[in-house]
Structure 1
Amino acid sequence: MALPISTLTAQARVLRRLSFHRAATATATVCSMANPTTARVGVVQMTSTNDLNSNYAICDRLVKEAAVAGVKLLCFPESFSFVSSKDGESLQIAENLDGPIMQKYCSLARESNIWLSLGGFQEKGPDNAHLSNTHVLVDDSGKIRNVYRKIHLFDVDVPGNMVYKESSFTTAGNDIIAEDSPIGRLGLTVCYDLRFPELYQQLRFEHQAQILLVPSAFTKVTGAAHWEILLRARAIETQCYVVAAAQAGKHNEKRESYGDSLIIDPWGTVIARLPDRFSTGFAVADIDLSKVDSVRTKMPISQHRRFDSCWKSLKT
């Protein structure tokens, strides 16, 4: 469903990427030609470094390829524009959303006439010692439509790996964010949020999300253990599509990400992924909102939920 960036021409890469996708999801591709409820979504896999210009060049290339492939929303992983190689680097490059880094990506969306999900941007925080891990949604006119600041911060001693303390330099967000788009109603999250199902429950049942975006940079250890199963669980329990863009491979001597960018349908089936966990590229799938409606009609869990009423009775 996607191929590595290589010495092939951009056109050849797109054609090969599309043929790979059609072989795996032929039904969805054919349906999209006649079904107005479908839209093509792309999910990126990449290995960002601490070189802002190099990361942008890769993103620029992928956005232009995706536009040629008919993608309407292209989703990038957490820390797409920058991954630090030493302590303090992220704070040094953090900037406001109207700063030059984000504005380059807004211009790219406008020039390519495509929506972008830019997960995990280092937004300048409330003081010089903190930033926000911000998921930025940009529309095809280059306008920032909404932002979500990561609520759950990754303060974890990963067995056999590293100790992470995201809260030491990141301010947690407080707001749950969903936003309408031509693709459907999008629920915005970031990485470690994935382990907290109540956030996704609220996005579905309180904010009417149809597509959940999960830009991530899972560690190699936690990714191997839990990445796909957690994503599929979130799709099944919310009856939403899940689009999960992932960082992949070694960013530097200290840090390595699991990869495996995925798109999952409301039944929990993986409908798009890259051919391996290390390549830079994107996979595509045709999102069909009628499938969301069908799954929710046949299994009406929204009508069967009793948690709210039970919880109220317990409290009283």
Structure 2
Amino acid sequence: MPDTADLTLYLAAPRGFCAGVDRAIRIVEMALEKWGAPVFVRHEIVHNKFVVDALRAKGAVFVEELDECPPDRPVIFSAHGVPKSVPEAARAREMIYVDATCPLVSKVHIEAERHFEAGLQLVMIGHAGHPETVGTMGQLPPGEVLLVETEADVATLAPRDESRLAFITQTTLSVDDTAGIVAALQARFPAIIGPHKEDICYATTNRQAAVKAMAPEIDALLVIGAPNSSNSRRLVEVGQKAGCAYAQLVQRATDIDWRALQGARAIGITAGASAPEVLVNEVLDAFACRYNVTVKQVQTATENVEFKVPRVFREASA
């Protein structure tokens, strides 16, 4: 029998799509309109299976490397950014390519270049193997970017010159964890130069703040997002550190562990920056089928950021 107990759902705001994700998806859709199917996309355009499957149904073909793309079809680079070698290879093959890198990731790339030109070696705070980290480190020659993932990693760093360092960060990290790593870097390398403006993006920061705000009110937290989505996984960690006894990442409503939620009377719901609102609504509907639901919104910020699509599409629509 369904449980008809009363349940309060605390819905985080902001949640879900950020401006960079929205732009990247629009770029694939506009490419399909401009050039027709198939359009190739190097790596998942954003880390969400629902989004990727929807674009695949429209004619997008997702590949891991450029050499899987035929030279006569357009290719799009994902929102996470790519190493410099990728557009260079596309130009060498005379391919049509569109870079859907989030402008806030591009800002970090420009920052890295500027520090390199000033003769500084870079330290990147990020997750090894994540496409954004690979793309950012690939902006500079090998050895020019040293990667740290934890405070412990700082102790083992062996830079060329301890007085000639700067640091950058992946845009989707935990704000609190990153602050600890930055403090460790500054303690060991007092001369290290940081970003003019924090590299962690506004959307990551805002979504983490909303989880922290709702944490004292809830018995459990559900984060809607993909397992390979860095910002979604960080939301789970933020919830756990803020005191949520149960915090779980779910891709969609079918993944909810209802038994684990038995006895909970207040549950927080948020979505990572690459999760569409349709999946949030799906989860809300699933709860409404099982409980007498009251929904309360926890709003900690208002987002009105919008990024322009590349010129090739603006010219087409002009």
Q: Give TM-score, length-normalised by structure 1.
A: 0.27
Q: Would you tell me which structure has more helix in proportion to its own residues? A: 2
Q: Would you tell me which structure has more strand in proportion to its own residues? A: 1
Q: Give TM-score, length-normalised by structure 2.
A: 0.27
- Higher normalized contact order (CA 8 Å, seq sep 6+, divided by chain length): 2
CA radius of gyration, larger in: 2
